[in-house]
Structure 1
Amino acid sequence: MEDLRIRELLKEKNMTGKQLAKEVGVSAVSMSNIVSGNSFPRPEVLRKIAKALDVELRDLFTPEGEAQALYIKKGESYIKIGEINLNND
């Protein structure tokens, strides 16, 4: 199974979910549900998200077991401090 990594990409791009929702043309609530994993977007919305984040479509996905980036917030910016592998092996 693959998970969306929109939250990570938002941090990297220093963008909010509301900003992304506006660019993609969906409600802030819909985007919040997508980012939190409560819903999965239609293919056309996925393409718009990738375009708005300036990434390839495949970059929205993280293969299961791949390391996840860890960030700290400093002021209005996020700083990558490392990675954690959530694989149960």
Structure 2
Amino acid sequence: MLRIEEILKEKNISNLEFAEIMGVSPTSASAFKSGRTKPKFDTLVKMAEVLDVDIRELFYPTKGGEILNGFVQYKEKVYTINNKKDLDKLIEAIDNS
């Protein structure tokens, strides 16, 4: 359910480094990565902060599709992109310009 292992690989962070920045033992960090231990909410918040990701990025999507999350500035307007509908609005704005 959690994408911690993927995020660590993307950011080139070892299990030991992850444990150190989280302030937990390497065994606990490994248990979070493997799903053997379910972190509490405050631990998830800390993970998101130390990994510099939105907390939603820690999870695999549960309703299919990919996670869309971010902001795009186009022609002095900022578009918030959280789902396909938001992305479609941006594409429409680009197509109509």
Structure 1: any 5+ residue segments left out of the alignment? 69-89
Separation in 2, partners of 1:67, 1:24: 29
The structure, 1 or 2, with the larger RCO (C-alpha pairs under 8 Å, 6+ apart) is 1
When Rg is computed on C-alpha atoms for both structures, the one with the higher figure is 2
**Structure 2 residue corresponding to 1:10, chosen from 8, 11, 16:** 8
Aligned partner of 1:57 among 21, 32, 55: 55
Gaps of 5+ in 2: 67-97
TM-score by length of 1: 0.67
Distance in 2 (CA, whole Å) between partners of 1:29 and 1:10 is 16
Identity of aligned residues (%): 42
Which of the pair is proportionally richer in strand?
1
RMSD: 1.7
Bigger helix share:
2
Displaced runs of 4 or more, over 4 A: 65-68
The CA deviation at 1:43 is 1.1
Q: 1:32 to 1:67 in 2, by over 3 A?
A: farther
In structure 2, what is the equivalent of residue 82 of structure 1? none
* Mapped partners of 1:38, 1:66: distance in 2: 23
Give the partner amino acid of 2:34: S
Instruction: Compute the TM-score of the two structures, normalised by the length of structure 2.
Output: 0.62
Aligned residues: 66
Deviation at 1:64, TM superposition (A): 3.5
1:40 aligns with 2:41: no
